[in-house]
Amino acid sequence: TSESGMEVVDQPVAVNRLMATVCGALGIDHTRQNMSNIGRPIRLVEPDVEPIRSLLLS
């Protein structure tokens, strides 16, 4: 971040990629489609979103 912490200056990360990364670290399949209790399909993250591999290697 910037010195003030208000701006990203290096390696910005999209929220959906961060969510896919967290799911992967927890052993959750982020590409899976779940069903709500009323039968509505819900995804945690869209299936084409890639996790941030370099974050997991740190």
Angle at 53 between CA 41 and CA 23, to 5 degrees: 30
According to the model, what pLDDT value does residue 1 have? Answer: 76
Per-residue pLDDT of the chain (58 residues), as tens digits, is 788 888 888 888 899 999 999 999 999 999 999 999 999 999 999 989 999 988 877 5
Residues in Cβ contact with 42 at an 8 Å cutoff, skipping those fewer than 6 apart: 33, 34, 35, 36
According to the model, what pLDDT value does residue 8 have? Answer: 85
